[in-house]
Amino acid sequence: MKPPFTGSQLEERLSTLARAFFEKAERERRWSVFEDLPWGAALTAPPHELAHVVETFFVLEASAPSFAGRSLEAMRCSPALTSFVTSWNFDKGKRLAAFREWLVRAGGRSHAELSQLELEALAAPLSLRGLEGLVSASRRLVFFGCLQEMVAFVTYAKHREVARREQDECLRTLYDFLARDDIAHARFLQQALALHLEQDREGTLADMAGVLSDFTLPGRTVLSDWETRMQAIRGPGLDLQTFIQRVYVPVLKHLGVGRHEILRRRTAPPEHDGAADG
Ligand SMILES: [Fe+2]
């Protein structure tokens, strides 16, 4: 079947989407680490668990440039997607600065300790199994991003409630900004993937199934004590059931894709050339 639009028309549509994303971010979403967070309302002696979770978020965000670098490489075929990744990476840098500030002011960490953690996060090998050598790596990354950004949104929204209970208004506000940024990232990627589905449904569905079968989360290689730290992150009710109900199902629904369409391809992934990347 003839696709409804060509690869270059796909890029035009992505470009319109990226422009709208950037304009909305500039007009409605930007926040300042130093002006908009109520630093005076941060706890002076927060519970150990609260600070430990912030430190884990700090390390995970610190690994973002490695992931952004690989994504930019894979997305060179799309100026619209590379502009999104650049903007996304800026948001990551800002939250890293905010977490650092909180960890030094409230969490009892030193700048030197945090710089060391940052270095280790950047030096960790980045495993992107399921992407190497794929023509359609860009499209797979867009779907991976859809899921990952929704996971981040749900996670920060849950931890916003923890910060509220602990009465750290500064951390609560920070988590609120992060959840808002992540849902904006998720929406952009979902809209981008919807365009890919429109242009090449079969190839895109195969890539989505491939991501669910092969992909490993980059964070696993960044943290040696990943499992223990993730237990603390998932503590406030972020189990597999939550992932399915609040991430996987809403993302597929938003894309107009049935779960059976993915399941069918996961058992017997079809050969495809990932033509929509061009
Ligand atoms: Fe995000």
Instruction: Tell me how far apart the alpha carbons of residues 189 and 142 are, in angstroms, rounded to a whole number.
Output: 6
Is residue 271's pLDDT more than 50?
no
Residue 186 CA to ligand 1 centre (angstroms): 7
- Which of 24 and 228 is assigned the larger pLDDT? 24
183 CA to centre of own chain: 9
Residue 180 CA to ligand 1 centre (angstroms): 9
Instruction: Tell me how far apart the alpha carbons of residues 105 and 174 are, in angstroms, rounded to a whole number.
Output: 14
Residue 3 CA to ligand 1 centre (angstroms): 31
Is residue 228's pLDDT more than 90?
no
DSSP secondary-structure letter at 99?
H
Instruction: Please provide the distance, in angstroms rounded to a whole number, between the alpha carbons at the two ends of the chain.
Output: 18
Is residue 222's pLDDT more than 80?
no
Q: Using the structure block, give the residue that is written with the tokens 């050969």.
A: 271
**Which residue ranges make up each domain of the chain?**
7-277
Residue 86 CA to ligand 1 centre (angstroms): 12
Name the residue type at position 160. R
Is residue 274's pLDDT more than 60?
no
Report CA dihedral (72, 75, 78, 84) to the nearest 10 degrees: -50
pTM beyond 0.75, yes or no: yes
C-alpha distance from residue 39 to each of 94, 101, 182, 234 (Å): 15, 9, 22, 26
Is residue 239's pLDDT more than 90?
no
3-state secondary structure of 122: helix
Homologous superfamily (CATH) of 7-277 is Ribonucleotide Reductase, subunit A (1.10.620.20)
Question: Crossing angle for the helix pair 137-165 and 201-214, nearest 10 degrees?
Answer: 60
What residues contact 138, with CB distance under 8 A and at least 6 apart? 74, 75, 77, 78, 81, 277
Helix spans in the chain (H)? 7-24, 48-62, 64-74, 79-105, 111-123, 137-165, 169-199, 201-214, 219-222, 226-234, 240-243, 249-255, 259-267
- Which of 136 and 188 is assigned the larger pLDDT? 188
Report CA dihedral (166, 168, 169, 174) to the nearest 10 degrees: -110
Residues, beta carbon < 5 Å, ion ligand 1: 149, 182, 185
Q: What is the pLDDT of residues 185-204, one digit of tens each?
A: 999 999 999 999 999 999 99
Confidence of residue 74 (pLDDT cuts 50, 70, 90): confident
Residue 94 CA to ligand 1 centre (angstroms): 11
Is residue 1's pLDDT more than 50?
yes
The top-scoring range by mean pLDDT among 74-88, 169-183, 213-227 is 169-183
Residue 89 CA to ligand 1 centre (angstroms): 9
Q: What is the pLDDT of residues 147-197, one digit of tens each?
A: 999 999 999 999 999 999 999 999 999 999 999 999 999 999 999 999 999
Instruction: Tell me how far apart the alpha carbons of residues 114 and 112 are, in angstroms, rounded to a whole number.
Output: 5
Query: Two tokens at 169?
Result: 């208004």
